[in-house]
A = this chain, B = another copy of it.
Amino acid sequence: MIRTLPLFALPFLALHAVATPALAQEEVTPGSVVAAAAPGEWREIAPDDLLVMQLAPDATGEPRRVVIQLMPAPFSQPWVENIRTLARAHWWDGTSIYRVVDNWVAQWGGGEGEQFTPPALPAGVTSPLVDYVTPAPEEENLQAGRFGLIDSYAEAVDFRDGLPIAQSGDWQWPTHCYGSVGVARDLAPDTGTGAELYAVIGHAPRQLDRIIAVVGRVVEGIQYLSVLPRGTAEAGVYATREEDTPILSVRLASDMADAPRFEYLDTDSESFARYVHIRANRSDSFYSAPAGGVDICNVTVPTRPIAPDEAS
């Protein structure tokens, strides 16, 4: 049974020893719910919402590709549009990952210190002067919290178009979870362009919600960021540029001849509702005491590549 689980289900595997008996075939797990989802319950991520970052190969020559789903409307759109402009200008090519802090973030792109000499920004890329929160449409207000998730930071949490969001009062905002990508900025709130980005590689730093623009999440290759050596200079920046991880290229999938394609489990689907329920109430053999609840960042939206033969 375990051997047939798709790769993204690995984190749900129990912590049992390796040679233990297989789970009974009829047991329901998050992985089995996702595997049973109907083809029509999956949504392809638009190629214009898919950012492909190619890092230099690792020490053993293994290629490292990080794929990011950009935030759909209405959240963080001015920064997302900047990111598309920067990718089309090949602005990140030749920049690097220069800061990695354990249980916090890996950060790349343009820095402002004297040790960095980022290229000039393309025309039109400036720091947006907009809020980090979005008015909740009246009909969305009704949906927020439909799964009954209890949150430590907001009045309600839910998923919208495949991404976790929070709501308090009449405002919604995207949440910082493991793998979330955000716009690094200076002390003033209007100083981030999107040229400098970070990915969360630790426990959800939800205190960053509403003060930084979340612009997407890593859907493939987060492990290439999370295993990077931690920086030893101020604020976790690498002490020397030789420690940086070079970025070979960053492209929108819509600009690539051989672009990867990805799809996520529709967060309005019946299978997704079952998935959230079983994440909160594990009933398979290992889970002798179902939790009875789950936090939003512990409900990773299932995402998978679309195989090339399906794409043809």
Measured CB to CB, the residues of A under 8 A from B are: 2-3, 10-11, 13-21, 23, 59, 99, 101-105, 107, 111-116, 132, 149-154, 177-179, 182, 184-187, 189, 196, 198, 202-212, 222-223, 226-230, 234-237, 279, 282, 285-289, 291-298
Contact = CB atoms under 8 A, between A and B. Distances in A.
A187 B16 contact: yes
B291 A187 contact: no
25 contacts: A3-B234, A10-B101, A10-B104, A11-B103, A11-B202, A13-B236, A14-B187, A16-B185, A17-B111, A17-B112, A18-B116, A18-B237, A21-B187, A23-B187, A103-B222, A150-B152, A152-B294, A152-B295, A153-B291, A153-B292, A187-B286, A202-B202, A202-B226, A203-B204, A211-B288
Nearest to A285: B187
Contacts of A285: 187
A304 to B, nearest CB: 16
Contacts of A112: 17-20
A295 to B, nearest CB: 4
Contacts of A236: 10, 13
A178 B207 contact: no
List 8 tightest A-B contacts by C-beta distance, closest first. A18-B113, A152-B295, A19-B113, A17-B112, A210-B289, A102-B223, A178-B203, A11-B104
Contact residues of A: prevailing secondary structure: loop
B17 A211 contact: no
A273 B106 CA distance: 30
A298 B111 contact: no
A201 to B, nearest CB: 8
A291 B184 contact: no
A186 B16 contact: yes
Contacts of A17: 111-113, 184-186, 196
Contacts of A14: 187
B149 A152 contact: yes
B207 A279 contact: yes
B101 A11 contact: yes
A16 B184 contact: yes
A54 to B, nearest CB: 19
A105 B15 contact: yes
A152 B153 contact: no
Contact of A282 (B187, B207, B294, B297): B207
B227 A229 contact: yes
A308 to B, nearest CB: 21
Contacts of A198: 15
A212 to B, nearest CB: 6
B152 A18 contact: no
